[in-house]
Amino acid sequence: MKFVNREEELDFLDKKWNQKGAQLIILYGKRRVGKTELSLKFCMDKPHIYYLSEMITPQKQVLKFSESIAAYYQDEFIPESGFRDWEQAFKYISARNEKLLVIIDEFPYLAETDPSIPTAFQKIWDLHLKSSSVFLILLGSSISMMEKTVLHHKAPLYGRRTGQLLVKPFSFKSVKTMFPEKSLEETVSIYSSVGGTPLYLNQFAGKNYINSVKNSIFTKGEPLYAEVDFLLREELKEPRNYFVILEAISLGKHKLSEIINESGLEKGTVSRYLSILDSLHITEKKIPVTEKIPEKSRKGLYVFSDNFFAFWFRFVFRNRSLLEQGRINDVLGMLKENLPVLNGTAYEKIARETIKSFNSYNPSFPEFAEVGGWWDRNEEIDVVGINRKTNAIIFGEAKWSKKPMGTDIYRKLREKAEHVEWGKERRSEYFCLFSKSGFTKQMMELAKPDNVFLFEGDILIGDK
The pLDDT averaged over each successive group of 10 residues in the chain (464 residues) is 76 96 93 92 95 93 94 84 92 94 93 90 95 95 75 80 92 93 97 96 94 97 93 85 96 96 95 92 95 89 96 97 96 97 97 93 89 94 96 97 96 96 92 97 93 94 67
Question: 271 and 311: one domain?
Answer: yes
pLDDT by residue (tens digit) across 124-141? 999 999 999 999 999 988
Sheet holding 163-166, edge to edge: 48-52, 100-105, 134-140, 23-28, 163-166
pLDDT of residue 322: 97
Question: 327 and 436: one domain?
Answer: no
Residue 360 and residue 341: Cα distance in Å, rounded? 30
For residue 108, is it within any domain?
A: yes
Residue 1 and residue 409: Cα distance in Å, rounded? 40
Question: 260 and 338: one domain?
Answer: yes
Domain boundary among the residues 319, 344, 369 is at: 344
pLDDT by residue (tens digit) across 145-180? 777 777 777 778 888 989 999 999 999 999 999 999
Measured at the CA of 423, the angle between CA 421 and CA 428, to 5 degrees, comes to 115
Question: 394 and 409: one domain?
Answer: yes
For residue 80, is it within any domain?
A: yes
464 exposed, middle or buried (CB, 10 Å; 0-12, 13-18, 19+)?
Answer: exposed
Per-position b or e across 429-452, b if 16+ CB within 10 A of its CB: ebbbbbbbeebbeebbebbeeeeb
For residue 2, is it within any domain?
A: no
pLDDT of residue 4: 66
Q: How many helices (H) and strands (E) does the chain have?
A: 20, 13
Q: Please name the residue ranges forming H helices in 125-224.
A: 143-146, 172-178, 184-194, 198-201, 209-216
Of 156, 123, 164, the C-alpha closest to 140 is 164
Question: 151 and 68: one domain?
Answer: yes
Domain boundary among the residues 141, 166, 191 is at: 166
pTM of the model: 0.90
Question: 283 and 415: one domain?
Answer: no
Domain boundary among the residues 305, 325, 344 is at: 344
Question: 361 and 322: one domain?
Answer: no
How far, in whole angstroms, is CA 184 from its chain's centroid? 21
Question: 160 and 12: one domain?
Answer: yes
Contacts with 407 (C-beta within 8 Å, 6 or more apart), sequence order: 440, 442, 443, 446
Question: 29 and 84: one domain?
Answer: yes
Strands 163-166, 23-28: pairing kind? parallel
147 exposed, middle or buried (CB, 10 Å; 0-12, 13-18, 19+)?
Answer: middle
pLDDT of residue 153: 74
pLDDT of residue 464: 45
For residue 1, is it within any domain?
A: no
Question: 305 and 351: one domain?
Answer: no
N- to C-terminal Cα distance for the chain? 26
CATH number at residue 305: 1.10.10.10
pLDDT of residue 157: 84
Residue 74 and residue 158: Cα distance in Å, rounded? 34
Say how many domains are in the chain. Answer: 3
Domain boundaries, position 386? 347-460
Q: What is the dihedral of CA 433, 436, 440, 445, to 10 degrees?
A: 40
pLDDT of residue 214: 97
Question: 423 and 456: one domain?
Answer: yes
Question: 288 and 372: one domain?
Answer: no
Per DSSP, what are the bridge partners of residue 460? Answer: 455
**What are the phi and psi torsion angles at 459 (to 5°)?**
-105, 125
Q: What does DSSP assign to residue 315?
A: I
Residue 8 and residue 6: Cα distance in Å, rounded? 6
Contacts with 7 (C-beta within 8 Å, 6 or more apart), sequence order: none
Long-range contacts (CB closer than 8 Å, 24 or more residues apart) made by 327-331: 328/214, 328/218, 328/219, 331/218
Strands 380-387, 392-399: pairing kind? antiparallel
Q: What does DSSP assign to residue 417?
A: H
CATH number at residue 137: 3.40.50.300
For residue 242, is it within any domain?
A: yes
Of 184, 143, 144, the C-alpha closest to 165 is 143
